[in-house]
Amino acid sequence: MDGINIKQLAEALNLSTSTISRAFRNSSGIKQHTKDLILSKAKELNYQPNHYASNLRDQKSKTIAVIVPELANNYFSQAIHGIEQVARANGYNILIYSTDDDLEKEMDFIKHLHNGRVEGIIMSVSGEAENHNYLNDFGARRLPMVQFDRVYDDIDTPKIITDDYESSFIATEHLIEQGCKRIGYLVVKKDLSIGKTREMGYIDALKKHHINYKEELIIDCSNSYTENDPIIKKALKDLKLDGIFASVERLAFATYYASYDLNIKIPHDLKVISFSSLEIAPLLNPSLTTITQPAVEIGNLSAKLLFDILQDKKEISFAKEKVVLNSKIIFRNSTKSA
């Protein structure tokens, strides 16, 4: 690092380091002329205040961390985009971590983040374990946090979620109205609260319409296509499904692939609806009926909430509010009745 530091710049200008510092911080208490002089010389010599020194000095990093299960997912990249907008506007940087749905990594990240590196965390969890208490281990040291979408209900932080129950209810009801009798619910990690909530919407819709519900209709998948493919194919064949409600877009895609292979025609033989933030859902063959969450807005809001906490530390312990946003269901050909 052959960068010039504040002392060298001070020498070059025959000024003290404090004056230099002032030129970069307060616009007060310094003559405009001096300030101009300093800034121009700084530009010339390419001086910039050292980030680590500043942060060490005033114990602020102006950085927040964003932890998501995966990056290659439209929903999360849009949410991150939303977070970034707000962070940038507040002069904050974001550090992005992707857990690949691995709890180990998640714990590791969070632990290491508690070293002063960031001022707060925005997270959508991997949700593998039942024991989330590692988050409480930090006690008073726990960083301000906001959870979104995939959340741990037993961890007290503000949470931004969508109306998953209602959306799932409507989605399922829609399939029923289109004539489906045997509707499968495809889910990844069904024990995570978000999966449960959606499952309840699904079950209640079946109930309302007096449709036979069986445990076997809930199909637990993973994030791996190669693992899911046989599972879905088996379900399609053995259970004679005529409708699929997918809780994640990845599973809808896998269903499409499976149907192609098995020569099952969507929507004629099988109707499909899915949670998805895919912008090209209308271009699929057939176009996919989707429940789309306001991902960017969720990101915006999560960040805003975090900054609220950051500005008023007292509130941390009380911040348990839950914000529920509405998803949008768009009907397309994959659920069209003949």
Q: Binding to a copy of itself by residue 280, rule CB under 8 A?
A: yes
Taking the complex as a whole, the smallest distance from the CB of residue 23 to DNA amounts, in Å, to 8
Task: Select 35 or 332, whichever has its Cβ closest to a copy of itself.
Answer: 332
Q: Binding to a copy of itself by residue 256, rule CB under 8 A?
A: yes
Q: What letter would DSSP give residue 269?
A: T
Class of residue 229 by CB neighbours under 10 A (exposed 0-12, middle 13-18, buried 19+): middle
Q: Binding to a copy of itself by residue 227, rule CB under 8 A?
A: no
Task: Select 94 or 218, whichever has its Cβ closest to a copy of itself.
Answer: 94
Task: List strands edge to edge, sheet with 328-330.
Answer: 218-221, 183-188, 243-246, 271-275, 289-292, 328-330
Structure tokens at 192: 């995570």
Task: Select 85 or 93, whichever has its Cβ closest to DNA.
Answer: 93
**Interface residue with a copy of itself, options 18, 36, 53, 317 (CB under 8 A):** 53
Work out the angle between the directed axes of helices 249-262 and 225-238 (0-180°, nearest 10): 60
Residue-wise DSSP of 13-74: HT--HHHHHHHHS-SSSS-HHHHHHHHHHHHHHT----HHHHHHHHT---EEEEEES-SSSH
CA 311 – CA 299 distance, rounded (Å): 18
Interface region with a copy of itself, contact rule CB under 8 A, candidates 32-40, 90-98, 159-167, 186-194: 90-98
Task: Select 34 or 77, whichever has its Cβ closest to a copy of itself.
Answer: 77
Q: What residue ranges bind DNA (CB under 7 A)?
A: 5-7, 14-22, 24-26, 29-35, 47-50, 53-54, 56-59
Interface region with a copy of itself, contact rule CB under 8 A, candidates 6-14, 158-166, 190-198, 275-283: 275-283
Q: Binding to a copy of itself by residue 93, rule CB under 8 A?
A: yes
CA 302 – CA 209 distance, rounded (Å): 37
Task: Select 34 or 333, whichever has its Cβ closest to DNA.
Answer: 34
Q: Binding to a copy of itself by residue 49, rule CB under 8 A?
A: yes
Class of residue 13 by CB neighbours under 10 A (exposed 0-12, middle 13-18, buried 19+): middle
Taking the complex as a whole, the smallest distance from the CB of residue 57 to DNA amounts, in Å, to 4
Q: Binding to a copy of itself by residue 3, rule CB under 8 A?
A: yes
Taking the complex as a whole, the smallest distance from the CB of residue 64 to a copy of itself amounts, in Å, to 12
Which among 235, 134, 128, 120 is positioned nearest to 186, based on CA atoms? 235
Task: Select 197 or 292, whichever has its Cβ closest to a copy of itself.
Answer: 292
Q: Binding to a copy of itself by residue 311, rule CB under 8 A?
A: no
Q: Which residues pair with 145 in a beta bridge?
A: 121
Beta strand 218-221 with 183-188 is parallel
Interface region with a copy of itself, contact rule CB under 8 A, candidates 24-32, 92-100, 214-222, 228-236: 92-100
Q: What angle do CA 327, 296, 142 make, to 5 degrees?
A: 100
Instruction: Using alpha carbons, list the distances in angstroms from residue 188 to 90, 101, 218.
Output: 35, 11, 10
Q: For binding to a copy of itself (CB under 8 A), which residues are involved?
A: 1-4, 46, 48-53, 55-56, 59, 61, 71-74, 77-78, 80-81, 84, 93-96, 98, 111-112, 114-117, 137-141, 253, 256-257, 279-280, 282-287
